[in-house]
């Protein structure tokens, strides 16, 4: 009887220690998860900022200015726009 | 007293002489009782703490490591039909101080902080000299600067997260997108109209923090944050740019007071562009005037003038009262109805119905209109959406003015047929012209991108009528028409000019509103474009001279942007200069 009780006690202690360890590990993992989620949020914010930057660089007035002034581009006149047809029908439209 | 027996040698354990010591009975009972009492006290205390006072203590315990934290949600983006950013929120930092604590900063610390905040040490001193417990030092600084300030670990200086809204397209889309005020509240435009869907819902979670402030466990319920919805407008930012830049150039060229331009997709009723001048930069709203803020195309009404004429002609064709080549005598260019006399700016003789539209004869139109009862005309205007709000859900939409038909006098009926005595907004006018751009249906307008096709409108005219009307509108941009300068190289376009007197204090002043509303291409209309210029003062005032070229440039650019194949032989376009934007 005594021996059985001792065994149970031992099992109890082992279980208790296992519980503590697993709790600790769970918390460690949770912290890691938190960190990664925070990083994801940061990246999200950065993505937004980069999108903002991109659209600021790509505003139409800026593109037109560069195309005209720096690259000396011109819109082709009507004669300079050949029309490609497939089976007699013009190609185009989105 | 202890009674000792004589010690024995070699006794067994149970016979230990110590055990044989006998206590006096009352002492052992006394100890037993005391121990019992102590045990009872402990049990009672335990009962008190564990059962009776449990809630209070649990709460106290929780408050030492449990925290409710709010998870912020961001406001939805606004993008154009192709996904280009029009409005986006990004987190910023605001620096605030507890002045009492902040005054303990050393001179060196103050200098560093002032430098990072791009302000003078004197201004900083001024802020923290306040006898308050909270003062903003500087709002909305970049997160990087915020981090560098946090690294200085200054006493009494704190930061909080804020969102700031940016508008990359700035003044170009200011009126349609609008802007938000503090606290992410939409104040104008789409930001206001779609505030409920744009607004995010912050989430919340309950967590356990350790000594260092790290979150170590989620407990209880968590509510994930809901970011605001992304709003995809019908706007095409390239066409918007075309409309905006052309409108701006036109207003400046003619030294006009204001202007508006609207481009609508004829098949879906989507608003591809909506520009107003003057405008403002929503990123920097320090000096704003009411004139800049006004979204004229939607909130202002004007008397449209001759732009109205094609509707009456179409009604006459539709009812079979007249044919395209029925001749109407407009000589001598004057006509008296009741006490009033109406006239043509250029007198003509006999004109066919088509020529009445092409040359924009007031007399001809009035004669057509007088063939109808007021009720019939009112019904037409009503079907075309005049007098009703266009139901865009846009702030400040107006319905214009269309008086009840019961008290129309014949002269009013005549003037209304050529667009006086009736007030409409530019967007209403553009919408009304969608009847000519499809099979005679008035399309519902949409601010948002429409994906489910086809969109059906409300039928107003028959297909046959509409086909004839398109040819009439095309005639107006021929050399003999009122708007030869509205032609587009390589495409067949059609439209109608409007040159209306403005009313000032109840009388018509010598100030004009020049407009042009057209469709393109005529063979298979895809776009309805309306341009309106308020009080042009230099370089003519006729709709064909002022708004016509702007229409031409916007149409040329938009048709090319959309990849719509040309439907006209090139020689038709010869002589039309092609100075459209890239």
Residues of B in contact with A91 (CB under 8 A): 565
Say what the pLDDT of residue B578 is: 44
CB contact under 8 A, B85 and A31: no
CB contact under 8 A, A91 and B565: yes
Minimum CA–CA partner of B491 in chain A? A78
CB contact under 8 A, A31 and B216: yes
pLDDT tens for residues B228-239?
A: 999 999 999 999
Say what the pLDDT of residue A74 is: 86
Interface A-B, measured as beta-carbon pairs within 8 A, has a size of 83
Please check the confidence at residue B223 and state whether its pLDDT lies above 70. Answer: yes
CATH superfamily for B237-282+294-573 is DD-peptidase/beta-lactamase superfamily (3.40.710.10)
Q: Does A49 contact chain B (CB < 8 Å)?
A: yes
Please check the confidence at residue B574 and state whether its pLDDT lies above 50. Answer: no
pLDDT tens for residues B104-142?
A: 888 888 888 888 888 888 888 888 888 888 888 888 888
Please check the confidence at residue B218 and state whether its pLDDT lies above 90. Answer: no
Across B508-529, average pLDDT = 92
Mutate to test the interface with A, among B79, B216, B493 (most CBs of A within 10 A): B216
Say what the pLDDT of residue B181 is: 83
Percentage of chain B beyond pLDDT 70 is 93
Q: How far apart are CA B79 and CA A57, in angstroms?
A: 16
CB contact under 8 A, B88 and A51: yes
Domain ranges of chain A: 2-73
- State the pairing for strand pair B340-343/B334-337: antiparallel
CB contact under 8 A, A34 and B214: yes
Contacts for B241 with CB less than 8 Å, ≥ 6 apart = A60, A61, A64, B172, B581
Minimum CA–CA partner of B169 in chain A? A59
β-sheet bridge partners, residue B217:
B208
- Radius of gyration, alpha carbons of chain B: 40
In this complex, which of A55, A63, A79 lies closest to B168 when CB atoms are compared? A55
Please check the confidence at residue B241 and state whether its pLDDT lies above 60. Answer: yes
Minimum CA–CA partner of B572 in chain A? A78
Q: How far apart are CA B105 and CA B141, in angstroms?
A: 21
Beta strands in B119-170 (DSSP E): 135-141, 157-166
In this complex, which of A27, A34, A60 lies closest to B238 when CB atoms are compared? A60
Please check the confidence at residue B579 and state whether its pLDDT lies above 50. Answer: no
Say what the pLDDT of residue B339 is: 83
Say what the pLDDT of residue B140 is: 81
Q: Does A56 contact chain B (CB < 8 Å)?
A: yes
Residues of B in contact with A54 (CB under 8 A): 85
* Burial (CB count <10 Å: 0-12, 13-18, 19+), residue A39: exposed
Mutate to test the interface with A, among B88, B215, B566 (most CBs of A within 10 A): B215
pLDDT tens for residues B456-496?
A: 888 999 999 999 999 999 999 999 889 999 999 889 999 99
Q: How many CA atoms lie within 13 A of B345 on its CB side?
A: 12
Minimum CA–CA partner of A79 in chain B? B570
Mutate to test the interface with A, among B80, B89, B91 (most CBs of A within 10 A): B91
Q: Does A46 contact chain B (CB < 8 Å)?
A: no
B6 — pLDDT class (breaks 50, 70, 90): low
Which residues of chain B are in CATH 3.40.710.10 domains? 237-282+294-573
Percentage of chain B beyond pLDDT 90 is 41
Predicted-complex ipTM score: 0.77
The residue among B298, B226, B74 whose CA lies nearest residue B165 is: B74
Instruction: For residue B526, give how far its alpha carbon lies from the nearest alpha carbon of chain A (Å).
Output: 10
The residue with greater pLDDT, B581 or B191, is: B191
pLDDT tens for residues B252-307?
A: 999 999 999 999 999 899 999 999 989 999 888 877 888 888 888 899 899 999 99
In this complex, which of A26, A48, A78 lies closest to B570 when CB atoms are compared? A78
Say what the pLDDT of residue B573 is: 42
Cis peptide bond prior to B521, omega within 30° of 0 = yes
Residues of B in contact with A72 (CB under 8 A): none
Active site residue B306: yes
Say what the pLDDT of residue B211 is: 76
Fold classification of B70-232 is: Penicillin-binding protein 2a (Domain 2) (3.90.1310)
Is residue B413 helix, strand or coil? helix
Catalytic one of B16, B72, B289, B306:
B306
Please check the confidence at residue B166 and state whether its pLDDT lies above 80. Answer: yes
The residue assigned the tokens 């001024």 is: B126
Q: What is the mean pLDDT of chain B?
A: 87
Say what the pLDDT of residue A93 is: 45
In this complex, which of B217, B565, B582 lies closest to A30 when CB atoms are compared? B217
Instruction: For residue B264, give how far its alpha carbon lies from the nearest alpha carbon of chain A (Å).
Output: 16
Across B1-28, average pLDDT = 66
- The structure tokens listed for A1 are 């009887």
Show pLDDT as tens, one digit a residue, over chain A (94 residues).
889 999 999 999 999 999 999 999 998 898 899 899 889 988 988 888 898 888 889 888 899 999 999 999 987 776 777 777 776 666 554 4
Say what the pLDDT of residue B523 is: 92
Residues of B in contact with A78 (CB under 8 A): 489-490, 566, 570, 573, 578
Please check the confidence at residue B438 and state whether its pLDDT lies above 60. Answer: yes
Say what the pLDDT of residue A94 is: 43
Q: How far apart are CA B476 and CA B486, in angstroms?
A: 9
Say what the pLDDT of residue B239 is: 94
Which residues of chain B are in CATH 3.90.1310.10 domains? 70-232
β-sheet bridge partners, residue B274:
B262
Rounded to the nearest angstrom, the gap between the alpha carbon of residue B208 and the centroid of all alpha carbons in its chain is 42
B11 — pLDDT class (breaks 50, 70, 90): low
B365 — pLDDT class (breaks 50, 70, 90): very high
Q: How far apart are CA B554 and CA B519, in angstroms?
A: 11
Residues of A in contact with B88 (CB under 8 A): 48, 51-52
Please check the confidence at residue B1 and state whether its pLDDT lies above 70. Answer: no
Say what the pLDDT of residue B209 is: 80
pLDDT tens for residues B71-88?
A: 888 889 999 999 888 998
- The structure tokens listed for B493 are 């376009």
Residue A26 CB coordination number (10 Å): 12
- Radius of gyration, alpha carbons of chain A: 35
CB contact under 8 A, A51 and B85: yes
Q: How far apart are CA B285 and CA B293, in angstroms?
A: 10
CB contact under 8 A, A81 and B565: no
Minimum CA–CA partner of A46 in chain B? B90
Q: Does A87 contact chain B (CB < 8 Å)?
A: no
Instruction: For residue A84, give how far its alpha carbon lies from the nearest alpha carbon of chain B (Å).
Output: 9
Please check the confidence at residue B9 and state whether its pLDDT lies above 80. Answer: no
Residues of B in contact with A67 (CB under 8 A): 582
Q: What is the pTM of this model?
A: 0.81
Minimum CA–CA partner of B80 in chain A? A55
Say what the pLDDT of residue B10 is: 62
């Amino acid at each position: 009887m005594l021996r059985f009780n001792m065994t149970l006690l031992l099992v109890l202690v082992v279980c208790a220690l296992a519980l503590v360890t697993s709790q600790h590990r769970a918390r460690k993992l949770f912290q890691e998860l938190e960190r990664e989620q925070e990083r994801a949020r940061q990246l999200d914010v950065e993505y937004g900022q980069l999108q903002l930057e991109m659209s600021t660089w790509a505003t139409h007035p800026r593109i037109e200015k560069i195309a005209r002034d720096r690259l000396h581009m011109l819109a082709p006149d009507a004669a300079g726009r050949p029309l490609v047809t497939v089976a007699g029908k013009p190609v185009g439209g989105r | 007293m202890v009674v000792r027996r004589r010690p024995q040698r070699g006794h067994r354990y149970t016979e230990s002489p110590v055990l044989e010591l006998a206590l006096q009975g009352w002492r052992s009972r006394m100890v037993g009782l005391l121990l019992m009492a102590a045990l009872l006290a402990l049990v009672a205390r335990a009962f008190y703490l564990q059962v009776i006072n449990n809630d209070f203590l649990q709460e106290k315990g929780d408050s030492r490591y449990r925290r409710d934290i709010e998870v912020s949600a961001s406001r939805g983006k606004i993008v154009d039909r192709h996904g280009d950013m029009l409005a986006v929120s990004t987190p910023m930092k605001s620096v605030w101080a507890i002045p009492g604590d902040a005054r303990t900063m050393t001179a060196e610390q103050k200098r560093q902080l002032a430098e990072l905040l791009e302000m003078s040490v004197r201004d900083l001193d001024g802020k923290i000299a306040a006898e308050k417990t909270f003062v903003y030092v500087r709002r909305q600084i970049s997160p990087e600067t915020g981090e560098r300030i946090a690294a200085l670990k200054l006493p009494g200086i704190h930061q909080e997260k804020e969102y700031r809204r940016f508008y990359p397209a700035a003044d170009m889309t200011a009126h349609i997108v609008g802007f938000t005020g503090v606290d992410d509240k939409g104040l104008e435009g789409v930001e206001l109209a779609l505030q409920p869907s744009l607004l995010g819902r912050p989430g919340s979670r309950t967590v356990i923090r350790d000594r260092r402030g790290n979150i170590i466990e989620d407990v209880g319920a968590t509510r994930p944050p809901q970011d605001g919805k992304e709003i995809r407008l019908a706007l095409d930012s390239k066409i918007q740019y075309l409309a905006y830049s052309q409108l701006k150039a036109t207003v400046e060229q003619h030294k006009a007071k204001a202007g508006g331009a609207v481009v609508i997709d004829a098949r879906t009723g989507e608003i591809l562009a909506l520009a107003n001048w003057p405008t403002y930069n929503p990123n920097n709203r320090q000096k704003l005037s009411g004139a800049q803020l006004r979204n004229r195309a939607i909130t202002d009404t004007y008397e449209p003038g001759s732009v109205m004429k094609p509707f009456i002609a179409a009604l006459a064709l539709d009812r079979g009262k007249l044919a395209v080549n029925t001749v109407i005598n407009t000589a001598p260019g004057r006509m008296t109805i009741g006490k009033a006399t109406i006239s043509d700016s250029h007198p003509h003789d006999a004109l066919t119905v088509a020529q009445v539209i092409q040359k924009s004869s007031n007399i001809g139109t009035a004669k057509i209109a007088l063939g109808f009862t007021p009720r019939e005309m009112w019904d037409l205007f009503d079907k075309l959406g005049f007098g009703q709000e266009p139901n865009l859900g846009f702030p400040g939409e107006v319905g214009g003015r269309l008086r009840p038909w019961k008290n129309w006098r014949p002269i009013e009926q005549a003037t209304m047929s050529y667009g006086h005595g009736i007030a409409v907004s530019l967007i209403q006018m553009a919408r009304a012209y969608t009847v000519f751009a499809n099979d005679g249906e008035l399309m519902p307008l949409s601010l948002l991108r429409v994906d489910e096709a086809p969109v059906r409108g409300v039928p107003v005219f028959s297909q046959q009528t509409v086909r004839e009307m398109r040819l009439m509108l095309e005639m107006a941009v021929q050399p003999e028409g009122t708007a030869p300068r509205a032609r587009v190289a390589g495409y067949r376009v059609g439209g109608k000019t409007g040159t209306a007197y403005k009313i000032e204090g109840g009388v018509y002043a010598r100030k004009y509103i020049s407009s042009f509303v057209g469709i393109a291409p005529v063979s298979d209309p895809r776009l309805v474009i309306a341009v309106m210029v308020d009080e042009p003062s230099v370089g003519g005032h006729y709709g064909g001279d002022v708004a016509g070229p702007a229409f031409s440039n916007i149409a040329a650019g938009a048709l090319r942007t959309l990849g719509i194949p040309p439907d006209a032989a090139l020689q038709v376009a010869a002589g039309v200069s092609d100075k459209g934007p890239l």
